Amino acid sequence: MRLSSRCLPRLAALLACACVLSSCVANPVNLRYAPDALATPWEGSKPKLFLASVTDRSEGFKWVGVQSVSKPVVRPLEESLREALVNEFGRLGITLVKVPKDADAQVSASWLQASVGLKAGVAVTDDGTVKMMISVRGRNNISIWSDVVIVGHGKGTHRHWGCCPGIGPEQAINAALADAMKKLEEAILSQDLAGQIFAANAQAATAQAPAQLPAVRSDVDEVPSVKPARRKAHAVVIGIENYRQQLPSVDFASSDARLVAKYLTRVLGYPEENVAVLTNDGVSRSDIEKYIERWLPNRVEAGDEVLIYYSGHGAPNPATGDAYLVPYDGDPMYLEQTGYPLDRLYAQLAKLPSKEVTVVLDSCFSGAGGRSVIAKGARPLVNVAGKQAVPNNVRVLSAAAGNQISQSYQEMGHGLFTYFFLKGIGRQVQKGEVNLRQAFDFAAPQVSQTARREYNTDQVPQWQEGR
């Protein structure tokens, strides 16, 4: 029988691929991921992880050509995956702990597929594919990543004739494994896995922990017993003590917010249903937007009163001097994307049909410490004084001048300004009528004197009204 010239190339390809799958299948492939160092080190806070389980749910390492054939590997696939994960976490600077109780989260991983598509010919490429599934659970078994599938692709090149594949298949599968690890790295950073872990653990701890009074109790913790007349008034009260980005703690901020809310309802006559109290991880940027830009406008009517209280970090934009509130999920490196501008706050409040709006800021915006933060590498003491124009119907009570820092009063267990401001309100109660201007006038010199005496620093509270 004589073969036509058109059949010969096809027959040669089939014979070559068959040779690949038959004569070379006995040579085991070594799956190994040896990453290079990160070009730019990951600067953020990193969780401690425990590698709980690594399993193989694939059908083994497959060569796919004319037919699908299992190919031996130097080590079990789960061992190669475990080593790859250990190397990748080490590359990112993540610590792997030996026991679960020391970890912020536990990681489980499974192989789903490991295969190479073979091609016959001289110096042609083989296509490698790996598929794995990753799950991450925080403390108290909270699901953070659930069965996230990551697929990597890679290519390898034959170094000999079609019947001898050389190192092509091993190149292809290892390139695919490296690609999968790269995609895992991108997911960890772009989805802020560290932040998700810390936030989930903080939320779980808050849910489990019983409500506790501040360790220090002062005279202002005893809310005056009065029966105030019910007022047409609304308030958003914010206290952020701990931050997702592991910023310095703002001592007593959350407990101060809860105490201010009590003064509003029990002393000043604000209806409880008109007072929103937001603390810690309940104060994301979207939470501030929701309550300032939707909740208040939906409730406030002509002639109503509005009060905003904020205790937490402020931050300046070093380039412009603009001041920002820093939400729980805020990042001083990306203020324009994650902070809430004071200008925007004032503009939103100016739109309300209220009789008057009072903003109380136990924060500061100089970037020099205390209750202020600044982007890494930027110079502190950014003067934000006079940068934010106060609208006509708004008055702002600030804990410090624009180039100063706001202190916590450790001895009394409160923010320094909040303590004396509430003390001033208590004094007004004794006189039979509460006047916030007189309460401020009492607090301002007390704050300045205490700051100089206790902390050797200047802190001069400010009263601003729109003109």
Task: Please state which of the ranges 61-75, 180-194, 245-259 shows the lowest mean pLDDT.
Answer: 61-75
Mean pLDDT computed over every residue of the chain? 83
Assess whether pLDDT exceeds 60 at residue 245: yes
Name the fold adopted by 18-191: Rossmann fold (3.40.50)
What is the pLDDT, as a whole number, of residue 352?
96
Assess whether pLDDT exceeds 70 at residue 283: yes
In DSSP terms, 116 is beta-bridged to: 63, 128
Residues of the chain with CATH 3.40.50.10610: 18-191
Name the fold adopted by 216-465: Rossmann fold (3.40.50)
What is the pLDDT, as a whole number, of residue 71?
67
Residues of the chain with CATH 3.40.50.1460: 216-465
In which band, very low, low, confident or very high, does the pLDDT at 239 lie, cut at 50, 70 and 90? very high
In which band, very low, low, confident or very high, does the pLDDT at 371 lie, cut at 50, 70 and 90? low
Task: Please state which of the ranges 96-110, 212-226, 431-445 shows the lowest mean pLDDT.
Answer: 212-226
What is the pLDDT, as a whole number, of residue 344?
95
What is the pLDDT, as a whole number, of residue 158?
58
What is the pLDDT, as a whole number, of residue 74?
81
In which band, very low, low, confident or very high, does the pLDDT at 446 lie, cut at 50, 70 and 90? very high
